Amino acid sequence: MIDQILDSPLHIGIEAPLVLLVLSLLEAVLSADNAIALAAIAQGLEDSKLQRQALNLGLVVAYVLRISLILTATWVANFWQFELLGAVYLLWLVFKYFTSNDSDGQEHHGPRFESLWQAIPMIALTDLAFSLDSVTTAIAVSQETWLVLTGATIGIIALRFMAGLFIRWLDEYLHLEDAGYLTVALVGLRLLVRVINEDLLPPEWLMISAIALIFLWGFSVRTLTDSPKEPEKIAGAGGGAWEAGGAGGAGGAEEQEEQEEQEQKEDHPQRAVH
C-alpha cells in the first residue's frame, strides 16, 4: 500500500512526511522488544538513579552506533557475519536469562552490574544488535538517508521513554520480563534465519503479531496486590487501643483517690466524730 501511494501522481509534497511517519511508527513498534530488553539490563543496577543514568548514557552511545550503522548500511549488508554476531549475542542474552537462578527464590534475572560503566556498553551493544534488524527494514522503506536518520532519531527518543516505563512495569507484572526475553529470542532467530536463507523470513506483520501476543501474555498478571486501606485499619486499631488504655487509666486514677481518702478516715477516726 505504501508503494502504491508513493508511486501515485498525488504523492508530490506528501512523500517525505508520509515516509517519515511510517519510519517513526516502524521504529516505535519494533522498539517495544528492544525497550524491555534495555530496561531489564538497566535493572541490573540496584539504584534507580544509576538505572536512569545507564539508560541515558547507554542510549547516547547506542545512537552514535545506530547512525554509523545507517551510514554504512550498504557496506554492512555485504557481510553476513555482522548479522550472525548480532543473532548470537541476542540468543546468548536469552540463554543467560532463562538459565539463571537467584538465591532469593527468583527463577530468572537479567545481568547484574557492580558499577554504571559495566551497564552502559551492554545497553549500547544490545541496541546495536536490534538495529541490525530495524535498520534493514527502514532502508527498505526509503532510500533517502536523511529520512532514515530522522526516523532513527525519533526512534531512539521513543526508546528512552519506553524503557523508562518498562523499568517500572517489570516490577508490577509477573510475566513481563519473561515475555520481553522471548521477543528478544524472536529477533535473534530472525537474524539467524536471514543469515541462513533470507527467503525463509516470515512476513513483517507475522513478526509484529507474534510480539503483540507475547506482550499480552506479559501484561496478563499483575503482582501489586497491597491494599491502601490496610495502614488506616492498623492505625485505627492502634488508636482504639490507645483510647481504651486511656479510659482504663482514668478509671484507675479515680479508684486510687477514693482508696487514699478511705485510708485517711481510718487513720484519723476522731475527725470523723467531730
The pLDDT tens digits for 41-58 are 998 898 889 999 999 999
**Percentages helix, strand, coil for the chain, rounded to the nearest 5?**
80, 0, 20
What's the average model confidence in pLDDT over 11-34?
65
Higher pLDDT, 108 or 243: 108
Higher pLDDT, 260 or 250: 260
What's the average model confidence in pLDDT over 74-84?
85
Q: How many residues does the chain have?
A: 274
Instruction: Name the average pLDDT for the chain.
Output: 75
Q: How far apart are CA 115 and CA 133, in angstroms?
A: 30
Q: Which of 15, 25, 6 is nearest to 151 (CA)?
A: 25
What proportion of the chain, given as a percentage, has pLDDT over 70?
Answer: 64
Neighbours of 62 (CB within 10 A): 25
Angle (nearest 5°) at CA 237 between 236 and 241: 115
pLDDT band at 145 (very low <50, low <70, confident <90, very high): confident
Cβ atoms 122, 41 nearer than 8 A: yes
| Cell matching residue 6 | 508513493
Q: Does pLDDT of 106 surpass 70?
A: no
β-bridge mates for residue 222, sequence order: 173
Cβ atoms 106, 44 nearer than 8 A: no
Angle between helical axes of 176-196 and 15-42 (0-180°, round to 10)? 120
Dihedral of the alpha carbons of 130, 132, 133, 139, in degrees to the nearest 10: 130
pLDDT band at 10 (very low <50, low <70, confident <90, very high): very low
Q: Does pLDDT of 199 surpass 50?
A: yes
| Cell matching residue 117 | 560503566
β-bridge mates for residue 173, sequence order: 222
Q: How far apart are CA 112 and CA 40, in angstroms?
A: 10
| Alpha helix ranges (H) inside the chain | 2-7, 15-42, 48-71, 73-76, 80-98, 116-141, 145-170, 176-196, 204-218, 230-267, 269-273
Q: Does pLDDT of 235 surpass 50?
A: no
Q: Does pLDDT of 268 surpass 70?
A: no
pLDDT band at 219 (very low <50, low <70, confident <90, very high): very high
The amino acid occupying position 214 is I
Residue 241, SS3? helix
Q: How far apart are CA 31 and CA 23, in angstroms?
A: 12
Q: How far apart are CA 8 and CA 6, in angstroms?
A: 6
Cβ atoms 265, 272 nearer than 8 A: yes
Higher pLDDT, 151 or 39: 39
Cβ atoms 74, 149 nearer than 8 A: no
Cβ atoms 166, 36 nearer than 8 A: yes
Q: How far apart are CA 69 and CA 130, in angstroms?
A: 11
Angle between helical axes of 145-170 and 48-71 (0-180°, round to 10)? 160
pLDDT band at 204 (very low <50, low <70, confident <90, very high): confident
What's the average model confidence in pLDDT over 20-28?
66
Amino acid 79: pLDDT: 86
